[in-house]
Every structure is written in C-alpha cells, then in structure tokens.
Amino acid sequence: MAIASALAYAALAGFGVPARRAAIVVAAAGFAALKGRRVLSSDNLFLALVAVVTADPLSPLLGGFWLSFCAAGILVWTGAGMHRAGFGRNWRSHFALAVGIAPLAALFFGQLSLTAPVANLVAVPWCAAFVVPLTLLGVICSLFDGAIAPLLWDMAARLWLLLWRFLEYLAAVSPRLWVAGSIDAGGAVLLVLGLSVLALPRGVAGRVLGILLLCTCALPRQRPLEDGEFRLEVFNVGQGLAILV
C-alpha cells in the first residue's frame, strides 16, 4: 500500500524529478520491509540512488538530487540512535538535517538559514497530518461527490494559511546567517570537515579545530568590485531562471 500510494502521489504531482525520486526511494524502502530488512539502512539508500540515476542519468546535475540524498543519508546515520518517537526525536532529526546539509545549502544558495529547523519542525507534521490528507481526500471525493470536495479543499486552504502566517512571522523576526561571498567547492569541504570535527564524541581532543574551520568559511572569497565593474550570476533551478547583477 505504501508503494502504491507513493506512485499514485507522484503521478498526481506530474512525475516531476523530486516526486519521481521520492517515489523510487519509498519503493526501495517498501521492498526492503517486505524482505524483512531494515528500512533505514545505507545499502537501501544506495539501491534507491542507483535506481534514481538509472531512471534519470542527468539527475546528479541538479542540486535537489544532492540535497535530498544527503538528507536521507543523515536520517539513516542518525536513525540508529533514535528508536523512540516523539517531539525529542523530531527535533533532533530536524536539527541534524539543518546542520548536515548546511555545506550544500551554502554551496548552492550562498547562505545558511538559522530558522529552518524550527520551520520544518512545525510545517512538516502540520502538512502531513492536516493539509495533504485533506487535499487528497478532496481529490478522491471529487470523483464521486462534487459537493464535499470543495469543503475539504477549503479546510486544507485555511489550515495552510495558518501555517503560512507562522512562517511569514518566523521569516520577519528571526535572523538568518548569510555566508560572506559565494562559497565554492573548497569552502563546502571546509564546512563538512568543520561539522564532522564538531560532531566527534565529547572528550576527543581537537574539537576546537572544527570551530576554526567553520570560521574560515565566513571569510570573503571574492575581491571587491571596482568603480564601473559589475558581477553577474545566473540562477537556474530547473523550474525558473533569474539573473542577479
């Protein structure tokens, strides 16, 4: 049922690259569960990665590919020590994701968000428990009764607006950490090394080096513009394009 639901949901979303990737990952996890294997495992994640690249060989060129699989890898890595469900586990998962994908976020977007764990902690369960089920239930009801579906969609929209107001408030009052300059691959490597050193167990000597590595990433990597010069950057995210001068 999980595999069928994932495929139906991806079809409903138009089988875009993120939806197709998510459906393949869920299918790989579902087959692992049917065989009695652990769902959160590195070999299962590698199987999903191979399936995604086989289905779309150009997917590694997209930033979303690396962000999603790195996020899944972080959940696999941290899932071994999180056997109990609850608020504490959800918070640790979102915090681990925010810290773990920070190097890629800095590389792709040039900034790090300090509010992403808080936003995800509220938005993910809110949408999973209310907005998405009501929307899909409205789609099903629209096939049989056209009067009930608009009521369900209206409820989903009102719940989404409540969440949106919270996210707007969070974006307005909370700070964001901007990375100085455009971080290149070398800067991302320094971020990975710094976070890895800081993640070492307590009592291990040399953890302070992680802070020094993180501080080096904040140093400017581009010379200042002279009078009459300009810098042009093109952002191509696959679904839109923008040019920053």
Give mean pLDDT, residues 51-55: 88
Confidence of residue 166 (pLDDT cuts 50, 70, 90): very high
Mean model confidence pLDDT for the chain:
81
Give mean pLDDT, residues 67-88: 68
Give mean pLDDT, residues 53-72: 86
Confidence of residue 214 (pLDDT cuts 50, 70, 90): confident
Residue 17 in this model has a pLDDT that exceeds 50 = yes
CB 113 within 8 A of CB 177: yes
Query: For residues 84 and 230, which has the higher predicted lDDT (pLDDT)?
Result: 230
CB 55 within 8 A of CB 22: no
Please give the share of the chain, as a percent, with pLDDT higher than 70.
84
Residue 230 in this model has a pLDDT that exceeds 60 = yes
Confidence at residue 177, expressed as pLDDT on a 0 to 100 scale: 67
**CA 236 → CA 18, 19, 58, 62, distances in Å?**
16, 19, 15, 10
Query: For residues 13 and 215, which has the higher predicted lDDT (pLDDT)?
Result: 13
Confidence at residue 81, expressed as pLDDT on a 0 to 100 scale: 47
Phi/psi at 232 (nearest 5 deg)?
Answer: -120, 130
Confidence at residue 104, expressed as pLDDT on a 0 to 100 scale: 79
Mind listing the pLDDT tens digit for each residue in 102-147? 777 777 777 777 787 788 889 988 999 999 999 999 999 998 877 8
Torsion of CA 74, 76, 78, 84, to 10 degrees: 140
Task: Name every residue whose Cβ is closer than 8 Å to that of residue 2 and which is 6 or more positions away in sequence.
Answer: 26, 29, 30
Confidence at residue 130, expressed as pLDDT on a 0 to 100 scale: 95
* Domain positions in the chain: 1-100
**Cα first-last separation, the chain:** 49
Phi/psi at 130 (nearest 5 deg)?
Answer: -125, -60
Mind listing the pLDDT tens digit for each residue in 33-44? 898 888 778 888
0.95 exceeded by pTM: no
Residue 20 in this model has a pLDDT that exceeds 90 = no
Rounded Cα distance between 10 and 97, Å, is 24
Confidence of residue 55 (pLDDT cuts 50, 70, 90): confident
Query: For residues 85 and 92, which has the higher predicted lDDT (pLDDT)?
Result: 92
Q: Look up residue 111 and give its two tokens.
A: 């900034």
